[in-house]
């Protein structure tokens, strides 16, 4: 089984990942996002907006099991991350989570 936190770190180091809910929505609308990850405690309005646009663009959405602080820590950042978009998975096998 693929470990989400570990594969997320590999994707950030070797691929292209967009952090933040507004930038994530923009990447979905541009057709760049291949996968979206949302923190479990993301605000309901942000979560519904991202899920709506992702559904329209046929992009898979995964809910990260931890809080936005945990998602930020998994990304190696000292701040909250409520949502992120995987544009290029790099050498990670994070895309296997949606298959």
State mean pLDDT over 91-98.
Answer: 88
Which CATH number is 78's domain given? Answer: 3.30.1330.30
pLDDT given for residue 3 in this prediction: 85
Give pLDDT tens digits for 65-75.
Answer: 999 999 999 99
How much is the mean pLDDT over the chain?
A: 94
Give pLDDT tens digits for 35-56.
Answer: 999 999 999 999 999 999 999 9
Q: 41-48, long-range: CB within 8 Å, 24+ apart, which pairs?
A: 41/67, 41/68, 42/68, 42/82, 42/83, 43/82, 46/21, 46/82, 46/83, 47/83
The domain of 72 spans 4-98
pTM value is 0.94
Number of domains the chain contains: 1
């Amino acid at each position: 089984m693929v470990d989400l936190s570990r594969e997320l770190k590999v994707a950030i180091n070797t691929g292209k990942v967009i952090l933040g809910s507004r930038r994530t929505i923009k990447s979905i609308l541009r057709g760049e996002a291949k996968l979206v990850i949302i923190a479990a405690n993301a605000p309901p309005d942000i979560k519904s907006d991202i899920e709506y646009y992702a559904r329209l663009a046929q992009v898979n959405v995964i809910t990260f099991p931890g809080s936005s602080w945990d998602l930020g820590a998994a990304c190696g950042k000292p701040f909250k991350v409520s949502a992120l978009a995987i544009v290029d998975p790099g050498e990670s096998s994070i895309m296997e989570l949606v298959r």
